[in-house]
């Protein structure tokens, strides 16, 4: 057993790299291997069909024997799109005994609360060194890069990825998930929305008339993919956050072309630079709102100088579609937890639950449940939530409900909106908020949107006199389940608790 393997035994994260994660997912019955599916739209279509029909019950899909490519050159979709795969990824999270989404989210928040940031350590060894391509050997299309959606403008190698950049002033290392389109063997583009951390880094280089060094990990450990979408606070690194979750520092190589850290447990890594003096037409691409929004717009060229990859490499993929799709579940979790944490840090009391809904593409429809303690409490929670990371970008609807409403249950949320909200009194609209070209309602280069906060709580002054809810009480429910358990089991099956 290697030293690394011995050390991993003490980590709450049970796997060391993507291949170990795949074996663990397969043992859980959460993985399906599929052969012979084409990279040209077929993979994305199969993923969409499976997740539209089964959603959280669909397995992760590994596509092998891709036409035109060597056996073993694989594509993976749907890494964390189920409770058990999500729990496997972050470690230390038991979802088997949880009674619902809010309980799983509470356990996840407890796991996140104890994370201590650990900076990476450099190593000279990595399976990435099995294949190092420089100069004329660089070829992005040696991998089965998919056209993920039918109307995409080309092949996208970066979807479930981590793009690593450095702030030229402070040295702060950021890892973010940004889409990467391939044009030829060493030419790509990387779209980064204004305001994102990687974009802030790139803009600083460009303002000085310099290219921006970058590393794109396009075959990655699922934990790094989670981190690249987590939005750690500015100045802190996602690589340090991964180290904290593992309770051991991430091992990194030092990029020879970009001088940036490269996670040593990766499958495929692209080293290069964003060019300040070259542009290509990028897009369109099926994006997180569920539309081909933004069209074709010139973006800076991402010039690839070197490729490193393991033998029989795995390209990690994420194709956003009209909800539901294969990477919404974990997005809802990490953003719900971050919004809940932000509200508590802003001293909003008695937050009982938060859910960033999958049906809102993990951004546009967000619900906060509170136990009201004073006049204006609901407005305070709601107005703050409309502008907080991680939903400040692209948010549309923020709903505040009472503590008896499960914020993850749309039936309950809509019922509260329909019975506890007076539209002329309980809606607040904010204008000129943060959006991007990906928003299908943006019709010019003014990247603003408006958003509404809906107070769907019982008016504070009427709480004691509001009409009682017509539903079976917890006490009667418990007695009935105990007395007629076999009857309920025949009717409801696994739904009985």
408 vs 322: CA distance, rounded Å: 19
Beta strands in 135-207 (DSSP E): 155-158, 162-166, 173-176, 179-182, 187-191
114 vs 245: CA distance, rounded Å: 9
The per-residue b/e assignment along 247-268, b for 16 or more CB within 10 angstroms, e otherwise, is bbbbbbbebeebebbbbbbbbb
164 vs 132: CA distance, rounded Å: 19
36 vs 63: CA distance, rounded Å: 8
Q: In whole angstroms, how far apart are CA 301 and each of 100, 128, 445? A: 45, 25, 21
- Per-residue DSSP letter, 311: S
With contact defined as beta carbons under 8 Å apart, do 368 and 326 qualify? no
Of 165, 171, 211, which is closest to residue 192 (Cα–Cα)? 165
Q: Which residue has the tokens 């074709």?
A: 296
Q: Which of 287, 299, 330, 358 is catalytic?
A: 287
The per-residue b/e assignment along 482-495, b for 16 or more CB within 10 angstroms, e otherwise, is eeeeeebeeeeeee
325 vs 148: CA distance, rounded Å: 12
77 vs 89: CA distance, rounded Å: 14
Of 428, 415, 329, which is closest to residue 387 (Cα–Cα)? 428
CA angle 361, 364, 365 (to 5 degrees): 95
Q: Which residues pair with 350 in a beta bridge?
A: none
Note if 282 is an active site residue. no
- Per-residue DSSP letter, 274: E
* Residues marked as catalytic: 287
């Amino acid at each position: 057993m290697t030293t690394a393997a011995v050390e991993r035994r003490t980590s709450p994260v049970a796997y060391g790299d993507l291949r170990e994660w795949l074996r663990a997912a397969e043992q859980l019955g959460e993985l399906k291997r599929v052969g012979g599916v084409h990279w040209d739209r077929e993979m994305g279509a199969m993923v969409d069909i499976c997740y539209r029909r089964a959603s959280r019950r669909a397995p992760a899909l590994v596509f092998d024997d891709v036409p035109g490519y060597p056996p073993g050159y694989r594509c993976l979709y749907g890494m964390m799109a189920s409770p058990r795969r999500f729990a496997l990824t972050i470690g230390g999270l038991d979802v088997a005994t949880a009674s619902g989404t809010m309980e799983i989210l509470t356990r996840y928040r407890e796991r996140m609360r104890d994370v201590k940031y650990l900076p990476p350590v450099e190593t000279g060894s990595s399976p990435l060194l099995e294949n190092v391509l420089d100069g004329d050997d660089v070829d992005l299309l040696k991998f089965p890069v998919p056209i993920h959606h039918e109307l995409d403008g080309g092949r996208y190698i970066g979807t479930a990825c981590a793009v690593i950049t450095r702030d030229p002033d402070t040295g702060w290392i950021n890892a973010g998930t940004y889409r990467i389109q391939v044009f030829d063997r060493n030419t790509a583009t990387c779209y980064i929305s204004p305001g994102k951390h990687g974009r802030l880094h790139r803009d600083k280089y460009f303002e000085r008339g310099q290219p921006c060094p970058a590393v794109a990990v396009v075959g990655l450990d699922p934990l790094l993919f989670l981190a690249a979408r987590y939005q750690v606070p500015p100045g802190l690194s996602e690589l340090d956050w991964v180290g904290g979750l593992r309770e051991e520092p991430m091992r990194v190589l030092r990029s020879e072309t970009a001088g940036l850290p490269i996670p040593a447990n990766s499958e495929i890594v692209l080293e290069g630079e964003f060019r300040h003096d070259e542009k290509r037409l990028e897009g369109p691409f099926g994006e997180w709102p569920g539309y081909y929004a933004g069209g074709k717009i010139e973006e800076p060229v991402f010039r690839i100088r070197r490729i490193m990859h393991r033998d029989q490499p795995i390209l990690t993929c994420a194709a956003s579609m009209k909800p539901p799709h294969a990477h919404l579940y974990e997005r809802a979790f990490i953003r719900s937890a971050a919004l809940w944490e932000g509200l508590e840090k802003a001293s909003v009391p008695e937050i009982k639950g938060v859910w960033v809904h999958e049906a809102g593409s993990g951004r546009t429809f967000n619900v906060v449940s509170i136990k009201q303690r004073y006049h204006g409490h609901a407005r305070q929670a709601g107005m703050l939530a409309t502008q907080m990371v991680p939903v400040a970008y692209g948010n549309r609807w923020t709903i505040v409900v009472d503590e008896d409403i499960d914020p993850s249950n749309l039936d309950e949320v809509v019922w509260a909106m329909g019975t506890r909200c007076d539209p002329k009194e309980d809606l607040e609209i904010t204008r000129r908020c943060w959006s991007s070209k990906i928003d299908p309602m943006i019709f010019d280069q003014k990247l603003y949107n408006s958003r509404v906060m809906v107070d769907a709580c019982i008016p504070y002054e009427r709480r004691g006199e509001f009409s009682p809810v017509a539903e079976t009480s917890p006490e009667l429910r418990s007695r009935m389940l105990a007395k007629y358990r076999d009857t309920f089991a025949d009717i409801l099956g696994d739904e009985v608790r």
